[in-house]
Amino acid sequence: MSYNPFSLQNKTILITGASSGIGQAAAIECSKGGAKLIITGRNPKRLNETLNLLQGDAHQQITADLSIAEEMDKLVQLVPNLDGLVSCAGTAKYVMLPFIKEQEITDILKINTIAPMLLTQKLVKYKKLNKPSSIVYISSVSGNEVSTIGLSMYGTSKSGLTAFMRHAALDLAPKNIRCNSINLSRVLTPLIEQGTMTNEEQIKEDLKDYPLKRYGKPEEVAYGIIYLLSDASSWITGTSLLIDGGFSLKR
């Protein structure tokens, strides 16, 4: 048997936002680590594409819009007992402060902050999380380590998520459920690629703030997720792992 303190063998993990970007990469890498995965997202076709990329065949896909209470409840009912949750589903929007609409605030908080809070609450209430288990929330440097022009709604949603993680870690420690977040700067996913930075000059300028001179790759986030899900991190709870290519060093 080979030595691997980061093994996910015999662990069942639920990953939200698994139909795209970081969630998809996390699902693929966790399957290589031996996990059985329950993947969820809104788009069944793209979710199925993720399912087909997973190693092993015990995995399951469940379509759910986490901003709709009935769909979240159905997801919680359908999932088996879990050793881990990766809360990755999220959205971003650049809007300069004077132009923000109330509905936009509600929408972004609903998926980025309220849905992970409610999903955690329901999984605990219905005893779906084993003892021990590990929850990883995908957060951001925005609203935590840095502030960014035009990202006040997003930054607020992610600082709220990180604050929730720290409180949940304390509440759930007696149940041996660990809670941590990963705070990211820019990672190359559809969320960023469809964003506002389409122009080469803008990207070149932006990369000056990245000491490692490039944006992150989804699998580089997945390796951090594996660490926090695995028994290698069994004494870590309530912390934020910064995966940002050194971005926050220059802020």
Ligand X SMILES: NC(=O)c1ccc[n+]([C@@H]2O[C@H](COP(=O)([O-])OP(=O)(O)OC[C@H]3O[C@@H](n4cnc5c(N)ncnc54)[C@H](OP(=O)(O)O)[C@@H]3O)[C@@H](O)[C@H]2O)c1
Q: Minimum distance from CB of 60 to ligand X (Å)? A: 16
Q: What span, in angstroms and rounded, lies between the C-alpha atoms of 62 and 18?
A: 10
**Could you tell me the two tokens for 113?**
């902050």
Burial (0-12, 13-18, 19+ Cβ within 10 Å), 170? exposed
* Nearest CA-CA partner of 38 in 52, 49, 51, 25: 51
Applying CB under 6 A, the residues found at the interface with ligand X are: 16-17, 19-23, 41-43, 46, 65-67, 88-92, 111, 138, 140, 184, 186-187, 189-192
Nearer of residues 39 and 82 to ligand X, judged by Cβ: 39
Q: Minimum distance from CB of 22 to ligand X (Å)? A: 4
Pairing state between β 12-16 and 240-243: unpaired
Nearer of residues 100 and 191 to ligand X, judged by Cβ: 191
Q: Minimum distance from CB of 59 to ligand X (Å)? A: 16
Q: Are 87 and 138 a contacting pair, CB within 8 Å? A: yes
Q: Which residues of 201-225 are buried (b: 16+ CB within 10 A; e: fewer)?
A: eeeeeeeebbeeeebbebebbbebb
Nearer of residues 13 and 187 to ligand X, judged by Cβ: 187
Nearer of residues 72 and 172 to ligand X, judged by Cβ: 72
Q: Minimum distance from CB of 131 to ligand X (Å)? A: 27
Nearer of residues 153 and 169 to ligand X, judged by Cβ: 153
Q: Minimum distance from CB of 28 to ligand X (Å)? A: 13
